[in-house]
Amino acid sequence: MSLTIADLEQLQSEHPEWRMELVEGNIIVMGPSDYESEEIGARLITFLNNWVMSRKLGRVTGSSAGFILPSMEEGDSEKRNLRAPDVSFVRADRLKKSKRDFVELVPDLMVEVKSKSDRIKPLEEKIQLFLQLGSTVGILIDPDQLTVTVYRLNQAPVVLQNGDTLTLPDVLPGWELAISELWPPEFE
């Protein structure tokens, strides 16, 4: 049985505490993230928002913002996926007003932060899906390896690590972030 976005919305109304995605007609219940991964995502959202909000460039969201993705099969609206990247950015000209619902678009930037229980391959597949559907940049942050891998469609991934600087000139010209700033600080 292939489920739809309407089925997911019904299940979500019955279980509002669950985080879910709809992938190929299957509802995936997402478990909570580990503390460090969530903190890294929150740090990135903070750094992005500081740049984006002051310049009115668009919208930055976290892991609960759902995107209804276009179907990979022409004319098949029943097979649309609803996915939620850990961090997303949508340019202002593409989403002029926030919606009190899922949005039917692909973010310009999507980020996945590997949690303790995640496997790399499904995260890379999710990033590739978003790129194929129109995202300009996909990023995978791996706290275990202390790396940030930047993906663009039909280009080799670029792996950054401590000492490197993340720039996204094709999405956020002028913005830059030292990779070392992503990792949570240790307090004495």
Instruction: For 135-176, write each residue's pLDDT tens digit.
Output: 999 999 999 999 999 999 999 999 999 999 999 999 999 999
CATH number (3.90.25.10, 3.20.20.70, 3.40.50.300, 3.90.1570.10) of 5-181 reads 3.90.1570.10
Is-contact 168 51, C-beta < 8 A?
A: no
The burial of 177, by beta-carbon neighbours within 10 Å (0-12 exposed, 13-18 middle, 19 or more buried), is given as buried
* Confidence at residue 26, expressed as pLDDT on a 0 to 100 scale: 79
- Residue 103 per-residue DSSP state: B
Is-contact 146 183, C-beta < 8 A?
A: yes
- β-pairing verdict for 158-161 and 147-151: antiparallel
- What's the mean pLDDT in 63-90? 83
Is-contact 37 114, C-beta < 8 A?
A: yes
Choose among 38, 55, 34: nearest CA to 174. Answer: 55
* Confidence at residue 120, expressed as pLDDT on a 0 to 100 scale: 96
What is the residue-averaged pLDDT of the chain?
A: 91
pTM: 0.89
Looking at the chain, the whole-number percentage of residues with pLDDT higher than 90 is 71
Q: How is the chain split into domains, by residue range?
A: 5-181
- What's the mean pLDDT in 81-97? 95
